[in-house]
Amino acid sequence: MTAMIRRVTDAQVAVRLQPRAARDEIVGLRDGVLVVRVSAPPVDGRANKALCKLIARRAGVAPTRVSVVRGERSRDKLVLVAGIEPAALTAALGMESG
């Protein structure tokens, strides 16, 4: 018997984060960047944690698989989602164009 080896890749998404919003939501794409609002304040990494939790829920992965790899103290961030194909992440976050 031959075991199938499945390659799992990681996906990255550029995010523009708006903290202290009325609710947590993914607004959509603006100039190729995913716009996200979270109710958490940008204090002690709480807004980043809320962002990771929201993306994880939408992508169907564990929150520990989502991390901010660039822009921890900025509104413009690069978020890594481990163990999901880029196309699957794009679909899960509603980022398809057209």
Q: Is residue 23 part of a domain?
A: yes
CATH number at residue 68: 3.30.1200.10
* pTM of the predicted model over 0.85: yes
The whole domain housing 25 covers 11-84
- The alpha helices in 1-98, defined as continuous H runs, are 46-59, 86-92
The SS3 call for residue 20 is: coil
Residue 54, SS3 per DSSP: helix
Asked if residue 22 belongs to a domain, the reply is yes
SS3 content of the chain, % helix, strand, coil (to 5): 25, 30, 45
97 located within any domain: no
- Per-residue pLDDT tens for 52-92? 999 999 999 999 999 999 999 999 999 999 999 999 999 99
Is residue 35 situated within a structural domain?
Answer: yes
In a domain, 90, yes or no: no
In a domain, 54, yes or no: yes
Task: Confirm whether 95 is domain-assigned.
Answer: no
pLDDT at position 5 over 80: no
- Using CA atoms, how far residue 92 sits from 46, 58, 75, in Å, is 23, 6, 22
Q: Domain total for the chain?
A: 1
**Quick check: 77 and 15 in contact, CB under 8 A?**
yes
* Residue 92: inside a domain: no
